[in-house]
Amino acid sequence: MKPAPFAWHAPDELEAALALKAEHGGEARFLAGGQSLVPAMNFRVAQPAVLVDLNRIATLDTLGFTADGTLVIGAMCRYRRIERDADVARRLPMLAEALAEVAHPQIRTRGTLAGNLCHADPASEMPAVMLALAARFLLRRKGGERLVAARDFFLGPLATALAEDEMLAEIHIPALPPGSGTAFLEVARRRGDYAMMGVAAVLRRGADGRCAAARLTLCSAGPVPLAADRAASSLLGTRLTAGDFAAAAALVGAEIDPMGSVQASPAYQRHLAGVLVTRALSLAAERAA
């Protein structure tokens, strides 16, 4: 199939790209890796009148840590660059761990994390990982910018808090505090398929070995990436034993709202969530030690 007719612009500067978006609003779409947008255009699910190609804007292709340990990822940074970065793997191991589960190497070589987050597919791994890592997103528009927490960014299936004239310019992921352990696990029918269920866990042990902080998020568990706050809160102050993990997994079953698919019924997804939560928490607790 072929896309509907569209105008194409490839500015060299970020301000020029933002000016084009301000001019055309909802009729314009930013093109980064194109791994989600281009297929949607070919099937005419998406029919933007204007494409603003970001591939010539070198200032958006950034990846690095700030003085306080925050990882800053630019809008044009490819998955593969993040996945292969040794500092990312050392400081934020869950990010590298989860990226290895995203689609196939060919997709990760071209696709961008920012594009994935803007697509906002609740079955995708990265939105749930951003929630677990307490990421914040820098949204830029012509003449202004704002920071939005990952928790407030995803509004529904394929829907975000981006205004018509805004771009997700940077992703900010704070450093993990000492004593933290993380894990990401998923089950997919085949390697590279969307997960039937995925779980991201972040735990921090205090000086006494008990759980001082916990975050637990899931993909394919509802219309948005889901933060299982009740389950995470149940772990605070515990010794992080197998019984504690089982109790948290039981609470997750009441928090999620899986929609089912051709690959898995909602009942099977709930079962997978319980199994993966138990395993991910166990692994995160072991790494926190």
The CATH number for 242's domain is 3.30.390.50
pLDDT band at 192 (very low <50, low <70, confident <90, very high): confident
Q: What is the mean pLDDT of the chain?
A: 96
Tell me: do 91 and 143 sit in the same domain: yes
What is the residue-wise DSSP string for 54-91? -TT-GGG--EEE-TTS-EEEETT-BHHHHHT-HHHHHH
CB atoms within 10 A of CB 239: 13
Average pLDDT for 45-64: 97
CB atoms within 10 A of CB 68: 7
211 near 221, Cβ under 8 Å? no
pLDDT of the residue at 194: 86
Domain boundary among 156, 173, 190: 173
Q: What CATH number does residue 127 fall under?
A: 3.30.465.10
pLDDT of the residue at 216: 98
Tell me: do 146 and 83 sit in the same domain: yes
pLDDT of the residue at 230: 98
Residue 186 lies in a domain: yes
Average pLDDT for 62-80: 98
pLDDT of the residue at 28: 97
Average pLDDT for 223-237: 97
Domain boundary among 143, 173, 203: 173
pLDDT of the residue at 1: 67
49 near 7, Cβ under 8 Å? yes
Tell me: do 192 and 118 sit in the same domain: no
Q: State pLDDT tens for residues 76-90.
A: 999 999 999 999 999
pLDDT of the residue at 237: 98
Residue 18 lies in a domain: yes
Tell me: do 66 and 164 sit in the same domain: yes
Q: How many separate domains does the chain show?
A: 3
For residues 214 and 284, give the distance between their C-alpha atoms in angstroms, rounded to a whole number: 10
Domain boundary among 53, 70, 90: 53
Residue 2 lies in a domain: no
Asked if the model's pLDDT at residue 67 lies above 90, the reply is yes
Tell me: do 166 and 62 sit in the same domain: yes
Q: What CATH number does residue 18 fall under?
A: 3.30.43.10
Residue 236 lies in a domain: yes
Q: Give 3-state DSSP helix, strand, coil % of the chain, rounded to 5.
A: 35, 25, 40
Its domain, for residue 134, covers 58-173
Rg, Å, the chain Cα set: 19
Return the SS3 of 156: strand
Residue 245 lies in a domain: yes
DSSP category for residue 28: E
Q: Tokens at residue 81, please?
A: 């660059």
Asked if the model's pLDDT at residue 262 lies above 90, the reply is no
201 near 285, Cβ under 8 Å? no
Residue 48 lies in a domain: yes
Tell me: do 116 and 203 sit in the same domain: no
Asked if the model's pLDDT at residue 69 lies above 80, the reply is yes
Tell me: do 78 and 43 sit in the same domain: no
Residue 1 lies in a domain: no
pLDDT of the residue at 193: 86
Tell me: do 33 and 74 sit in the same domain: no
Q: List the alpha helices (DSSP H) in 84-144.
A: 86-91, 93-99, 105-110, 113-119, 125-132
Cα separation of the two ends of the chain: 53
Any idea which of 23-27, 103-107, 134-138, 184-188 has the lowest mean pLDDT? 103-107
Tell me: do 167 and 220 sit in the same domain: no
Tell me: do 47 and 75 sit in the same domain: no
Tell me: do 25 and 125 sit in the same domain: no
For residues 50 and 9, give the distance between their C-alpha atoms in angstroms, rounded to a whole number: 8
Tell me: do 253 and 195 sit in the same domain: yes
Residue 15 lies in a domain: yes
